[in-house]
Every structure is written in structure tokens, then in C-alpha cells.
Amino acid sequence: MLSLPVKKIILLLTVFLISINILHADEFKWSDVMISKDKTSEFYIDKKSIKRIDNYIYYWSLGNYLILEESENQDVKSVIVYNRIDCNDFGYQIVIFTAYENNMGRGKALYHDMENPDKEEEKRFDSKDSMAYDRHKELCN
């Protein structure tokens, strides 16, 4: 378990890395597309944003919603997310989340959210047969 000063340093470094990437958000180079099995979504990563700090991987991703269910918000066509993966258990946390009105993160930003990556209760786990699990496993290895 990390001591409090080490956690603060990691958090400050993370915030610094995030702020650098936000300043250059228009320079994202989306690649490595994965398409959902039902072909309703596609997901990209920005390979140059991948950072490893201890057992964590941080990276920016883009999700395009190609087909929306009636129950889903019809205004949201894409999201850009800053992710943190714990390579010990492949759990992940969304650190920054922004939803857009058009695909590829274009158009008006509809909403924005930021989470504290040190909140373990915010960690999510995907099933081992999901695209996200495969992507996380690939990034950690």
C-alpha cells in the first residue's frame, strides 16, 4: 500500500499529465479502433497519451455511438475519456469524461465530469469477454 505522500505525488503527476493533454486535445491521433460485436459503437485510443505510473496505465480514449437505443440520450454521439487502469486486476476508473453532440468528439460539449482516481470504490470491472477487458489487458502487457 502506498503512503499518503506518494499518493499525493501520483495524483499531482496525474493532474499535470491530464492538463497537458487537455491543452493539446485538438492534437489527438485516434487509432487502434475496436468495434463492438453488435456494431453499435466504436472505440479508439490515442497511443501517444499512454502513460505508465507504477502498476497503473493512463490513456485517452474516444467512443463513437453509431446506433443509439431509444432509452439512450439521443444527443450524445461521442465521448472522450481519460482512463486509469490498475494492471494488478484490470479494474479501471474514468478520470475525465466529456460527451459531445457529434461523432469523433466534435461539436458542442454536452457535459463534462471529473473523478478522483484515488477513490477505489469508483473502480469498475468488465467481463473477461468484453472489448474493454481485452484493451486493458493489452495495454498492461
**Range name among 24-28, 30-34, 56-60, 114-118 with the lowest pLDDT average:** 24-28
Residue 119 has pLDDT above 90, yes or no: no
CATH number at residue 78: 2.40.128
How far is residue 57's CA from residue 132's CA, in Å, rounded to a whole number?
A: 14
Count how many domains the chain has: 1
Domain containing residue 114: 4-140
Put simply, whether the predicted model's pTM sits higher than 0.75 gets the answer yes
How far is residue 90's CA from residue 130's CA, in Å, rounded to a whole number?
A: 12
